[in-house]
Amino acid sequence: MPPRIDLRSDTVTQPTPAMREAMARAVVGDDVFGEDPTINQLEALAAEMLGKEAGLLVTSGTQGNLVSLLTHCNRGDEVIMGHDSHTYNSEQVGFAVLGGIAPRIVQNQPDGSLRLADIEAAIMPDNVHFGRSRLVSLENTHNRRGGAYLTPAYTAAVADLAHNHGLSLHIDGARIFNAAVAQDVDVKELARVADSVTFCLSKGLSAPVGSVVVGSSEFIRRARRMRKILGGGMRQAGVIAAAGIVALTEMVDRLAEDHDNARLLAHGLSHLPGVNPEPVHTNIVYFGVDHPRYDAASLQDALAQQGVGMLALSPGRIRAVTHYGIQAGDIEEALDILQALLSG
């Protein structure tokens, strides 16, 4: 049984009643023939919202990043990415395994960014000894950096730098709508300058399945071939896309509630003994555990026994993620349970 108050991830969200309704009514067809009107509608909507020409429904964020990197790069090419990025750490380095693409690692800063000077230094000169630099990959919001977001100005500066050196820019925007809502900017301002963006429908936007890759029409044409070779040609997946359309039309603005609840949680934690919340930027709260009776793992287990789900992602650090289905009252209840454990 999942925990009653499940803050382990925003991937645990249930589809909304409107999503279930839309799924039941979806007009579908064979998408490998390009004949699923609901998928076509979702792809066009996603492209329009992010300021790109075309979109591609994929099975997951992992598949979206993989399709994107395989489409941008040939074997022996290098992708410049952060040492703490999800694509480097949590996707089995599929781009290297399946694509013969090499990561060129740059340190992530506390705000999730890569320094421009570090990116520039990682671009390899044209030399018979070196790999070919082909792509820069950013993450917005940054999962391991507490959901920190990148700004439009920073993203544009990285795009300029990449393009001036003949490289392309990919954004792993699994939570790019959280980044847009937190800064009160149009998501286009974060996406338009990139050559490709992947975002997840199945996290805070609450759809049951799916991610979308957006880019130029030509890029998406080639990405569609790549999705097929990876087994991602999904036939009547308009049933899934229907929920994705509801996610994009009804579930974006409410992400602000998740950000409020994350701040509420961090504020409460700051008054409890033995835990130290890190700065909150969007819907992810990390806190350090330095307590006489608990480390992160045992506190996670004690919380789970009381029906509160959080994840101990390292010996001294726990992550909690707010999302649709979590109310302020749930946060207050989780804080009461934590208070009883930590001061008891």
The contact set with ligand PLP (CB under 6 A) reads 60-62, 86, 139, 143, 172, 174, 200, 202, 211
Report d(CA 325, CA 4) in Å as an integer: 11
Q: Of 123 and 142, which has the nearer Cβ to ligand PLP?
A: 142
The distance from CA 175 to its chain's CA centroid, rounded to whole angstroms, is 4
| Cβ-closest position to ligand PLP | 61
In sequence order, the β-bridge partners of residue 199 are 212
Report in angstroms the alpha-carbon separations of 332 from 6, 134, 169, 284. Answer: 13, 48, 41, 16
Minimum CB separation from ligand PLP for residue 66, in Å? 9
For residue 260 the two structure tokens come to: 């409020």
Q: Of 215 and 268, which has the nearer Cβ to ligand PLP?
A: 215
Q: Of 52 and 86, which has the nearer Cβ to ligand PLP?
A: 86
Minimum CB separation from ligand PLP for residue 192, in Å? 20
Q: Of 11 and 151, which has the nearer Cβ to ligand PLP?
A: 11
Minimum CB separation from ligand PLP for residue 302, in Å? 26
Alpha helices in the chain (DSSP H): 17-25, 37-50, 61-72, 86-89, 94-99, 116-122, 152-164, 176-183, 188-191, 217-229, 238-250, 255-269, 296-305, 328-343
Minimum CB separation from ligand PLP for residue 69, in Å? 12
Q: Of 176 and 266, which has the nearer Cβ to ligand PLP?
A: 176
Q: Residue 311's closest CA among 300, 322, 302, 303? A: 300
Q: Of 123 and 207, which has the nearer Cβ to ligand PLP?
A: 207
Report d(CA 215, CA 55) in Å as an integer: 7
| Cα-based angle 139, 328, 176 (whole degrees, multiple of 5) | 15
Q: Check: CB of residue 63 under 8 Å from CB of residue 230.
A: yes
Minimum CB separation from ligand PLP for residue 128, in Å? 35
| Cα-based angle 152, 158, 159 (whole degrees, multiple of 5) | 85
Minimum CB separation from ligand PLP for residue 108, in Å? 12
Minimum CB separation from ligand PLP for residue 121, in Å? 24
Report d(CA 53, CA 273) in Å as an integer: 51
Q: Of 71 and 211, which has the nearer Cβ to ligand PLP?
A: 211
